[in-house]
Each structure stands twice: as C-alpha cells, then as structure tokens.
C-alpha cells in the first residue's frame, strides 16, 4: 500500500535520481502522445536513443509499457518503421476527487484515461468539516471498490478544493468557498484516513489542467481558466504546465481589486472581482438550494428576465475589467471561461470582450482567444485525474 506521506527525496545527481527522472520523462511522453516509437521518444524527451532503449526495456519488463501490435513510420523519420509503444492501461490507476460546495464527485481511471468508476453525491453542510471529510472518504472507498482497484495499484490521487492551497503547509486559505475547510490540510487528512497519498489542489487550477488535456485547444501553451460559480477562481497554464506560483495562489483573478473603496472581501481586501460580482448577483449562496447565485441568475436570464440579463452583462463587464490587467501581465493566447456561467456564455461574451478591450493593451487583447469551458460539471474531477496521471507523487513503478 502506498504511504500516506511523500517519499524521501533522492539525492540530486545520484544514479537513482537520474533513473527515476528518465523513467518519468518517458512515461509522461507516452501519457501525452499515447503511441510513440523509441526514436520518437528520444526526440520528445531529449534522451539518447541508448538511454531510451534501456529505460523502455525496464518498463516493458515491469509490465508498464507495451509494444504496439503493428508498425508504422516514425513521424519525420526515414528508414524502417519503428515499433510503437504505449502505456499498459492495466498497470495502474488514478483517482480524482472533487469536493464541491454542492456535490462530491470521485472518478477512477486506468493509465490510458479510461473511466473505471465514477460516482457523485450531495455535499454535506459546508459548516461541518468532519461530515465533509467522512462523506468524501466513503465515496472514494465506494468508487475504488466498484473499480476493483486497491490502494497499492494507484499511481496518484488528487482532490479539487474550492480554495487556494498553501504549497508549503497544504492548508486551505481563508478564501475557501466551503468555510469549514479553511485552515485545514485537507490532503493530509484524506491521506491519513484513506491510507495513501492524496494531494489537494485548487479546483480552478484543476479545471485548467482538464481543459489543457481534454479540451479542444491545440497550439495554446499559455492559457488562463476562469471559473465563475460560488466564487471566482482561476488557473494558469504556462508552457503547457500548471503554474502555481510561490505560495500556490498564482492566477487568482477573483481577488483582483477593481475598486479600492469597494465592499470588503473575505480575503481582507476591498473591491475584489469576486465580491463585486456577488454584489451584482445579490449576495451569498443559498444554504437551502445549495445553488450558486450565478446559477440562479443564469436560469432567470434564460427565461428572459430583463433584470437577470442586465446583471449578467454587468458581471461580464467586471470579469473583462479584471482580465484586462491579467492579459497585460501574462499575455495568454487563450482564456477559457467555465463554471455555472457556461450556459449563458452568449449573453456574457460581448461584455467580457468589450471590457477587456478597454482595459488591456491593444496587441495582447486583440490576440487572445476567449471561449467557454467544454467539460461542464466534470471539469474539476477530470483535472484531478489528469494531475494524478501527469504529476503522480510516488509512482510505484518509478522507483
């Protein structure tokens, strides 16, 4: 069974550390491309052909990599077609968890990303941390049992939480949309309860990972994901990989101050995008329906409520204003807007774009593509699985 705590780091520069990194690079390349020849792996990883051959032979012996059933020409190569290689889907599994304000979701996949089990359930009272943890543990155990996956077979596990996560301590920030979880090391608590390592990560970050892996956005290496739901979260992809920043709060567009004299936000500042948007949407989430004010607003707008439609345009203008500063600073090629707002994207798109054009420099504003999220309510849990597959903390086959 996997340990609930990270393994002791290998000494930098040691042969064991080098071997571990080389195995990880080859596994990661196969995760991304699925089918590659040895020559293509050498080009993709920057490793020598002899190193690739040695590592691949080990991975085949360990039943982690399989040779393809048919040959095909190597991409960009000449000569005899290379034998394709792929990860053996049955060699491990990944676990993704979404601890949402309204619902809990758990997904178990094999190494190829095929779903083995997927469950969801209503979230407990957001003021009852023990109940939330208990319900999450029970749902994870049920999903693992349904998938017939033991803890020792997991290559990694991640949990999406609606809060910034401190990279050093693992503690959730006071900005959490689930107040009872603020100040708690949710990943550590779940690891201790479940008996294997599970890593907590901001939900918007994981939405960004999901859109990067499974969204239809080829060619975009710098991407910002903005989640509009009970709060305003965002995740940042730079160079094709998740960028967390020094403390794990990179990309927190929701706490961009739009008005220094505006209403006080739960983060301690005034006039933050999240707080200003909540004011337009008439305040705090309902504890009875567990729906976000934004979801209610979208539903009313779909029924041609003129007040709701105007409020949506105002929310869009606020979002565009905050994105203007972000676009100037980061110059992303793509912005994906997801969460509860997605069904109303047509009403929101023009106000977002117009405000962004007013608040950003012409060149980066003109070049950025803005699209709605494509993964719906599964974005967080898919991102958690994606993170577990791509950044597994302790691959049992990568010793």
pLDDT-based confidence at residue 1 (cuts at 50, 70, 90): very low
What pLDDT digit, counting tens, does each position of 107-146 carry? 999 887 789 999 999 999 999 999 999 999 999 999 999 9
Same domain, 201 and 246: no
Alpha helices (H) in 62-181, listed in sequence order: 129-147
- Mean pLDDT rounded to a whole number for the chain: 84
Structure token digits, residue 297: 């607003």
Domain count, the chain: 3
| Residue numbers of the domain that contains 167 | 92-206+380-390
Same domain, 357 and 254: yes
Judge whether 255 and 273 are in contact, CB under 8 Å.
yes
* CB-side neighbour CA atoms (13 Å) of 175: 23
Same domain, 300 and 356: yes
Last residue of a domain, one of 71, 87, 103: 87
Same domain, 55 and 105: no
Q: Is residue 66 part of a domain?
A: yes
Q: Is residue 137 part of a domain?
A: yes
What pLDDT digit, counting tens, does each position of 247-269 carry? 777 878 888 888 888 888 888 88
What's the pLDDT score for residue 241?
84
Q: Phi/psi of residue 124, each to 5°?
A: -70, 180
- Burial label for 127, CB within 10 Å (0-12, 13-18, 19+), is exposed
Same domain, 35 and 116: no
Q: What is the mean pLDDT of residues 164-183?
A: 91
Tell me, what CATH number does 272's domain have? 3.30.420.40
Same domain, 236 and 369: yes
What pLDDT digit, counting tens, does each position of 344-386 carry? 888 889 999 999 999 999 999 999 999 999 899 999 999 999 9
pLDDT higher than 70, residue 205: yes
Same domain, 44 and 142: no
Same domain, 297 and 229: yes
Alpha helices (H) in 215-361, listed in sequence order: 273-280, 293-302, 306-330, 345-359
Same domain, 252 and 369: yes
DSSP character string of 278-302: HHHTTSSPPTTT---HHHHHHHHHH
Same domain, 249 and 323: yes
- Pairwise CA distance, residues 202 & 303, whole Å: 33
Same domain, 73 and 30: yes
Closest-CA residue to 162 (of 191, 133, 203, 197): 203
């Amino acid at each position: 069974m996997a340990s609930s705590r990270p393994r002791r780091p290998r000494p930098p520069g040691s042969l064991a550390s080098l071997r571990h990194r080389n195995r990880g690079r080859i596994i990661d390349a196969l995760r991304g491309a699925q089918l590659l020849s040895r020559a293509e792996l050498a080009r993709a990883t920057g490793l020598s052909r002899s190193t690739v051959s040695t590592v691949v032979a080990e991975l085949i012996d360990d039943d982690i990599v399989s040779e393809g059933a048919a040959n095909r020409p190597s991409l960009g190569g000449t000569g005899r077609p290379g034998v394709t290689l792929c990860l053996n889907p049955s060699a491990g599994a990944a676990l993704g968890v979404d601890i949402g304000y309204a619902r809990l979701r758990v997904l178990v996949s094999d190494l190829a990303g095929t779903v083995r089990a997927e469950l969801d359930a209503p979230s407990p009272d957001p003021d009852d941390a023990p109940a939330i943890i208990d319900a999450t543990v029970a749902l994870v155990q049920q999903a693992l049992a349904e998938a017939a996956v033991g803890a020792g077979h997991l290559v990694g596990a991640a949990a999406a939480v609606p809060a910034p996560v401190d990279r050093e301590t693992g503690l959730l920030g006071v900005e959490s949309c689930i107040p009872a979880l603020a100040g708690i090391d949710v990943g550590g608590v779940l690891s201790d309860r479940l008996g294997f390592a599970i890593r907590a990560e901001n939900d918007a970050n994981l939405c960004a990972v999901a859109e990067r892996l499974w969204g239809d956005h080829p060619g975009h290496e710098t991407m910002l994901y903005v989640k509009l739901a009970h709060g305003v979260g965002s995740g940042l992809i730079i160079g094709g990989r998740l960028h967390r920043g020094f403390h794990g709060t990179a990309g927190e567009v929701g706490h961009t101050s739009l008005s220094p004299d505006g209403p006080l936000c739960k983060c301690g500042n005034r006039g933050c995008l999240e707080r200003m948007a909540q004011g337009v949407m008439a305040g705090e989430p309902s504890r009875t329906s567990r729906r976000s004010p934004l979801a209610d607003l979208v539903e009313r707008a779909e029924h041609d409520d003129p007040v709701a439609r105007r409020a949506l345009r105002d929310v869009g203008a606020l979002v565009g204003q905050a994105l203007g500063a972000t676009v100037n600073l980061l110059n992303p090629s793509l912005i994906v807007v997801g969460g509860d707002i997605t069904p109303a994207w047509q009403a929101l798109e023009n106000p977002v774009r117009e405000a962004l054009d007013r608040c950003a420099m012409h060149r980066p504003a003109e070049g950025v593509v803005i699209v709605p999220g494509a993964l719906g309510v599964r974005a967080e849990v898919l991102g958690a699985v994606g993170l577990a597959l791509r950044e597994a903390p302790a691959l049992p086959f990568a010793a």
